[in-house]
């Protein structure tokens, strides 16, 4: 009989299925037996008022029978301490993560505030040019670049007084922008 790779794979799959079924049956039988034993040992080991104790803090049912009461209490205390330490570690990690997220959000808010300031300046410049007569648009642009009134008048073909007026208007807008 000659087995190929395909037949070997199917054989392995069948064996895995059988193994999983056997393990599930064993688990099912253990679950049926364990609650009965746990109920008997817990009732015998605990006094009447202690029946309300949490099952999370108790060791496994088989271990409880083998340990004396003092050792059981020590094991419970140690388990509670470890659980609290783990919870504290998790909370510290969470706090660290929240702090880093807060820092990144603060940086983002600062960046957005800077960007908003730049946009406000741009809008103010656009509004200023819209208030100026179209024939003075070039004079306004040159005055913003810092040219003197004489240079603006020469380039735009306007009088020096008009260029000085445009330049003073631009300087006033700049001062109002700084005050705001």
Structural domain count of the chain: 2
Length of the chain: 180
> Are 96 and 142 in a shared domain?
no
Residue 168 lies inside a defined structural domain of this protein? yes
**Looking at 120, 140, 168, which one is the last position of a domain?**
120
Structural domain boundaries enclosing 104: 58-120
> Are 112 and 140 in a shared domain?
no
Residue 94 lies inside a defined structural domain of this protein? yes
**Residue 51's pLDDT is what?**
44
> Are 62 and 109 in a shared domain?
yes
> Are 62 and 116 in a shared domain?
yes
**Residue 150: which residues within 8 A CB-CB, separation 6 or more?**
160, 163
**Which one, of 57, 56, 61, lies nearest residue 44 by Cα?**
61
Residue 93 lies inside a defined structural domain of this protein? yes
Q: What is the pLDDT of residues 130-156, one digit of tens each?
A: 666 667 788 888 888 888 999 989 988
> Are 141 and 88 in a shared domain?
no
Residue 125 lies inside a defined structural domain of this protein? no
**Looking at 99, 120, 141, which one is the last position of a domain?**
120
Angle formed by the axes of helices 137-144 and 69-131, to 10°?
130
**Looking at 69, 96, 120, which one is the last position of a domain?**
120
Residue 19 lies inside a defined structural domain of this protein? no
What is the chain's pLDDT, residue by residue, as a tens digit (180 residues)?
A: 677 889 999 999 999 999 999 999 988 887 777 665 555 555 555 444 444 444 444 555 555 556 677 788 888 899 999 999 999 999 999 999 999 999 999 999 999 999 999 999 888 777 766 666 667 788 888 888 888 999 989 988 899 999 999 888 888 877 776 765
């Amino acid at each position: 009989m000659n087995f190929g790779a395909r037949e070997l794979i199917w054989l392995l799959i069948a064996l895995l299925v059988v193994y999983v079924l056997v393990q599930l049956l064993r688990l099912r039988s253990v679950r049926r037996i364990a609650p009965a034993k746990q109920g008997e040992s817990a009732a015998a080991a605990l006094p009447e008022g202690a029946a309300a104790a949490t099952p999370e803090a108790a060791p496994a049912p088989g271990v409880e029978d083998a340990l004396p009461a003092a050792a059981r209490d020590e094991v419970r205390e140690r388990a509670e301490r470890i659980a609290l330490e783990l919870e504290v570690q998790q909370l510290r990690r969470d706090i660290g993560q929240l702090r880093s997220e807060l820092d990144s959000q603060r940086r983002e808010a600062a960046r957005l505030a800077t960007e908003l300031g730049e946009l406000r300046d741009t809008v103010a410049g656009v509004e200023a040019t819209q208030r100026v007569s179209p024939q003075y648009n070039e004079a306004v642009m040159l005055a913003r670049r810092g040219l003197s009134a004489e240079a603006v008048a020469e380039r735009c073909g306007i009088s020096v007084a008009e260029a000085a007026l445009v330049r003073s208007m631009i300087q006033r807008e700049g001062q109002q922008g700084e005050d705001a």
